[in-house]
C-alpha cells in the first residue's frame, strides 16, 4: 500500500537523479514501515516551471511529497517518514531543507484496494498483529 509521490519542477533534475531518489525513497519506506519492498510504489510528478509557484515566484524549486500509509500507523513512524524523506530529497536533489514540504496521508484500510479487495480484508492478519504489538 505504501505510495510516495514527489512533485518536482520539470527539467530541473536529470532523470537518473530522480530515479535514484525514487529508489532511495522506496528503500526507506520499506525499512520504516517494515513492509516488503514489492508493495511500495514511488512516483515523480513533474510540473512545468510556468505552472509552479513558490512564494508567488514561478519556477522556484521547492519539492513537495505525499506518502500514503494505512491508518493506524504509529505517530513515530509517520514522523520518521517526514524526516527521512526530507533528508533524502535534500541529499539527492541538493535543495534547501527549508524548501521541502511533505505530508503523510493515512488511508482507512476499508478505502484501499489490493487487487480489488479492501486492505481491511487482504491484510487483516497484519493489521491485527500490528494492533496487538502496538506498532500500528
Q: Phi/psi of residue 117, each to 5°?
A: -110, 135
The segments of the chain whose pLDDT lies below 50 read none
Query: What is the structure's pLDDT at 117?
Result: 87
CATH of 3-133, one of 3.30.429.10, 3.40.50.2020, 3.30.300.130, 3.40.50.300: 3.30.429.10
Residue count (the chain)? 136
- 118-132 pLDDT, tens digit per residue, is 988 877 766 676 677
Cell numbers for 131: 494492533
What are the boundaries of each domain within the chain?
3-133
pLDDT at residue 119, as a whole number = 87
Q: What is the pLDDT of residues 108-119, one digit of tens each?
A: 999 988 888 898
> Which residues on adjacent β-strands are paired with residue 6?
44, 65
Burial of 36 (0-12, 13-18, 19+ CB in 10 A): exposed
- Residue 1's nearest CA partner among 31, 41, 28 is 41
pTM for this entry: 0.87
Mean pLDDT, all residues of the chain: 93
Amino acid at each position: 500500500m505504501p505510495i510516495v509521490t514527489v512533485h518536482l519542477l520539470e527539467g530541473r533534475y536529470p532523470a537518473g537523479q530522480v530515479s535514484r531518489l525514487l529508489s532511495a525513497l522506496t528503500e526507506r519506506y520499506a525499512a520504516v514501515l517494515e513492509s516488503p519492498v514489492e508493495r511500495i510504489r514511488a512516483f515523480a510528478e513533474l510540473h512545468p516551471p510556468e505552472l509552479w509557484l513558490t512564494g508567488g515566484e514561478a519556477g522556484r524549486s521547492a519539492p513537495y511529497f505525499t506518502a500514503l500509509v494505512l491508518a493506524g500507523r504509529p505517530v513515530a513512524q509517520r514522523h520518521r517518514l517526514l524526516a527521512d524523506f526530507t533528508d533524502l530529497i535534500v541529499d539527492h536533489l541538493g535543495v534547501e531543507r527549508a524548501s521541502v514540504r511533505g505530508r503523510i496521508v493515512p488511508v482507512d484500510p476499508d478505502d484501499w484496494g489490493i487487487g480489488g479487495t479492501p486492505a481491511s480484508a487482504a491484510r487483516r492478519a497484519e493489521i491485527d498483529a500490528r494492533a496487538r504489538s502496538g506498532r500500528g
